[in-house]
Structure 1
Amino acid sequence: MTLDPHAAADFVKEAAEGFVPRVGIVLGSGLGDLADKVEIVADLNYQDIPDFPQSTVEGHAGRLILGRLGGMPVICMQGRIHYYEGVDPKDLAIPIRMLKILGIEILLVTNAAGSFRKKMGPGSLMMLSDHINFTGLNPLVGENDPAFGPRFFSMEEAYDPTLREHLAAVAKELKIELHEGVYLHYLGPNFETPAEIKAFKTLGADAVGMSTTPEVLVARHCGLRVAAISNITNLVAGMSKTKLSHEQTLECAKLAAEDLEKLVIVFLETLKRELLKAHLRSTENGND
């Protein structure tokens, strides 16, 4: 059965009548507490939203929260869906297209990831500068829907340079160390072998995880600006004596959760001012 993002969007619009989000936020494993900081307008379970894929992984609550965070109208996905859960890859386009229909202009994605750098250990934050999609999967494979975007599109600046500058400036202001690097998406659900890790390092990866590229691909296809942050929960296989596990991921995600929350909230406050300035400049130019 083909899922319809319009059906999902219509349901959400009815639940939060008159509310138009500007920023969509996707929260990864163990990072859902940020949603509790939202001044809630509507709080929906994924299972109640028609034509919406369901999250089945521990640490992903499966809630859609609309409200204000840092003064910005946001819609927050508390939990995401992964390829390894066995869904049709096309279904991963539904949440982001729904967010686009609801009015967002910017997508902020977070994830939990393993680090290739000893100096970027558990508790660190890494802003994505680029990614490597090692899964061989893409939610946009198949017939293109021109209502959302073109058949072919560029990924040269998948992670918006201006948004990255804002994030870096906010982190500096808050005295939060924000690393920057390339994220590699591994299919999972198993963790990587040491040989795979060696290959990924050669490819240029700085961090590895099992998510994010589907959302970013769909967002860029439909013209959304994207920023993304990895919460580093472990060093990759072969760099630490600690055995990798999902339980460890959830536990270590808490190490940088406070910094991540501060960073996102102040980023949204700053972003609100910048969007207002851009709107005023646009209005002034229109009146010339």
Structure 2
Amino acid sequence: MLFPFIFALNIVLVIFNSVLCSIAICLIALIKALLPTSQLKVKATSLANKVMWFWSTINAGILSATNHVEWEIEGGEELKKDGWYLLISNHLSWTDIVVLCSVFKDRIPMPKFFLKQQLLYVPFIGMACWALDMPFMRRYSREYLIRHPEKRGQDLETTRRSCEKFRNSPTTVVNYVEGTRFTAEKQRKSKSSYAYLLPPKTGGIAYTLAAMGEQFENIIDVTLAYPENTDKPFRDMLLGRMTKIVVRIKVLPVDEHVRGDYFNDKPFKRQFQQWLTGVWREKDDVLKDIHQRH
């Protein structure tokens, strides 16, 4: 009987927290636009990141207060707050953003997510993400690109421009390599060879590494699972029904497997695809083990 009340309470608290922090970040962005030097702009960005940390901390508190969650987190002890990281993860739900921010907010710089262009128009949230310099990606379907070949490569150019903004202060760039949230229907349509994943898309991560590969200290490979809430984890979290969150963290080197000219060097492109396929195969095995144990 309490579930409807908990759902309404969580919705109100999350919306209030998001609106309040979004307004604060947008005000900082307006001030940042008027600042005369790049050093002052970096400080303004740091202040906006602190507001995002506050947003993440409040969300984590809401999650803990209304859900009896058993956390299972392994790895990542060597990470630090003043580093540059590329974080890759499987993608299951809106819950992933809350979980990643909750787990990593005190371990590494606040994550910057690659977001769909449509989210820019979400009231408050879209403007705050824009103010935080999060990259917005417009993805084109294969059919659209056939009709408009001039659009090919534009999303990768957006990636390059976005990554340029991250050179001035420690940053974590998050890339959901599958490009969309996992569902059984998407898995079927993509003819995925993985049991718990969609096929990885190499272009976005390759261009991020091409733009900032020398600056990234490590790649953080994160595997997320909600083994007792597999159907609709975000709904279950808002209802107070989330019971288990599993986070596996593996820190990978930025070495010859990921450094190279992906778009012009065909041997390197094949090597990079094989590397990412191996990472994804191992991730699928980890997920299989998690779900079999639960």
**Greater per-residue strand proportion:** 1
Q: Same fold (TM over 0.5)?
A: no
Q: Which has the larger radius of gyration?
A: 2
| TM-score computed with the length of structure 2 as normaliser | 0.31
